[in-house]
């Protein structure tokens, strides 16, 4: 239960109001009560200040006249909210111990303060940096190297010879370094191509729950520093995700596709293999990326939902589109518009 003045000091912000006011937790403007700290991240939410019961609010200094109560003034209120969330964090803490019920091979290299919980399995040749935390039932394959302060949550599986940087978080039931989907079509069926390369995750990488990052066939699959990946995402073998790129849930990146830095890939986007996506590209939800994207910018594909009967007509007409276009061209020819019609668009 910190006092507001203590919070201001911890966040290095100017406080407007009562430094002794007690704050119990963080809350949205809508749900905050008297001892909650809330925040306004965008100007359009300022009107919500009229109704909020929050005991204090994180605000941009320019907006301080809109709120008569306790305020923490921040040039970047949303970042301040993120930093404040750490102060109120309620996640269980690491024990700093290797549980006697964990299955740790002889000769594993452990940094200082490593935690390995019950039922976790750490294979021979593994090296874990300082303060690494391997959750209950997680699996760390042979010769894998994990950097300082990285957390592998319960049930996650890291296969052999994977390299993971510092301060990463691998969420539950994620799978890192399973075999890429590589098979040659033979006369008697598919011939498996052994996946000889591995996975390299940089520093500060997040991998969401139940996501899968496959190991490469001949070249490593790479996720660069600061990239964040949500749940149920598939990253194919030999793909590369650029620094600080964000990939939302259920997106799929096929093998050997290289995504640049600072991209935003929305949920359920699908990318074909062997593509190159430039830096700072944003792809909208369910986007169908079948060819490379060479310029930064926002892209989207797909169609919006319609009431079923209207959609059935649209979808049916979609299959006739080429025919429709030819009919328009013929009409234009008849009307003497021909190519000139194109200029009007």
Residues 35 to 74 in contact with a copy of itself, rule: CB under 8 A:
none
Residues 230 to 289 in contact with a copy of itself, rule: CB under 8 A:
230-232, 234, 236, 243-244, 246, 248-250, 252, 254, 267-268, 270, 272, 283-289
* Comparison of 65 and 336: residue with beta carbon closer to a copy of itself: 336
**Residue 154 found at the interface with a copy of itself (CB under 8 A):** yes
Strands (E) in 35-138, as ranges, are 36-39, 56-59, 70-73, 103-104, 109-110, 115-116, 121-122, 127-128, 133-134
**Residue 89 found at the interface with a copy of itself (CB under 8 A):** yes
Shortest spacing between CB 25 and a copy of itself, in angstroms: 7
Alpha-carbon distances of 35 from 38, 129, 184, rounded to whole Å: 10, 40, 63
Residue from the set 15, 56, 152, 217 that interacts with a copy of itself by CB under 8 A: 217
Burial class (CB in 10 A: 0-12, 13-18, 19+), 292: middle
**Residue 313 found at the interface with a copy of itself (CB under 8 A):** yes
Of 160, 163, 162, 195, the closest CA to residue 179 belongs to: 195
Q: Kind and range of the H or E element at 264?
A: strand 264-265
Q: Write down how long the chain is.
A: 345
**Residue 106 found at the interface with a copy of itself (CB under 8 A):** no
Distance CA 197, CA 161 (A): 9
Residue from the set 34, 62, 191, 274 that interacts with a copy of itself by CB under 8 A: 191
Q: Which stretch binds a copy of itself (CB under 8 A): 4-12, 49-57, 59-67, 209-217?
A: 209-217
Shortest spacing between CB 60 and a copy of itself, in angstroms: 14
Of 2, 11, 23, the closest CA to residue 70 belongs to: 23
Active site residue 237: yes
**Please, what sign has the CA dihedral across residues 79, 82, 86, 87?**
positive
Q: Which stretch binds a copy of itself (CB under 8 A): 8-16, 42-50, 56-64, 200-208?
A: 200-208
**Residue 34 found at the interface with a copy of itself (CB under 8 A):** no
Tokens 């935690």, residue located: 115
Residue 343 main-chain phi, psi, to 5 deg:
-70, -20
Q: Which residue of the set 142, 237, 258, 282 is catalytic?
A: 237
Q: Which stretch binds a copy of itself (CB under 8 A): 6-14, 62-70, 106-114, 176-184?
A: 176-184
The residues that are catalytic are 237
């Amino acid at each position: 239960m910190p006092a507001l003045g203590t919070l201001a000091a911890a966040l290095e912000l100017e406080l407007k109001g009562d430094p002794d006011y007690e704050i119990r937790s963080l809350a949205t403007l809508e749900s905050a009560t008297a001892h909650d700290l809330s925040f306004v991240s965008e100007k359009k939410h300022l009107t919500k200040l009229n109704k909020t019961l929050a005991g204090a609010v994180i605000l941009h200094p320019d907006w301080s006249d809109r709120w008569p109560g306790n305020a923490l003034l921040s040039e970047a209120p949303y970042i301040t909210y993120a930093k404040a969330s750490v102060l109120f964090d309620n996640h269980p803490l690491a024990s700093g111990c290797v549980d006697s019920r964990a299955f740790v091979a002889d000769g594993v290299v452990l940094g200082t303060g490593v935690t390995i919980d019950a039922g976790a399995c750490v294979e021979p040749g593994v090296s874990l940096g300082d303060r690494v935390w391997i959750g209950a039932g997680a699996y760390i394959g042979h010769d894998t190297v994990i950097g300082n302060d990285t957390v592998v949550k319960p049930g996650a599986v890291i296969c052999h010879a994977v390299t993971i940087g510092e301060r990463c978080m691998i969420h539950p039931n994620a799978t890192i370094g399973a075999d890429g989907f590589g098979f040659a079509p033979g006369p008697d069926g598919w011939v498996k191509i052994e996946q000889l390369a591995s996975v390299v995750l940089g520093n500060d990488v997040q991998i969401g729950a139940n996501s899968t990052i496959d190991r490469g066939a001949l070249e490593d699959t790479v996720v660069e520093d600061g990239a964040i990946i949500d749940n149920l995402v598939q990253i194919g073998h030999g793909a590369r995700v650029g620094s600080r790129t964000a990939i939302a849930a259920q997106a799929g990146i096929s093998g050997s596709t290289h995504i640049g830095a600072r991209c935003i890939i929305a949920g359920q986007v699908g990318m074909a293999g062997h593509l190159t996506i430039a830096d700072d590209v944003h792809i909208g939800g369910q986007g169908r990326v079948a060819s490379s994207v060479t310029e930064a910018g926002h892209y989207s594909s797909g169609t919006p939902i319609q009431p079923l009967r209207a959609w059935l007509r649209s979808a049916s007409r979609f299959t006739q589109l080429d025919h429709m276009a030819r009919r328009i061209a013929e009409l234009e020819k008849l009307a003497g518009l021909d190519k000139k019609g194109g200029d009007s668009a």
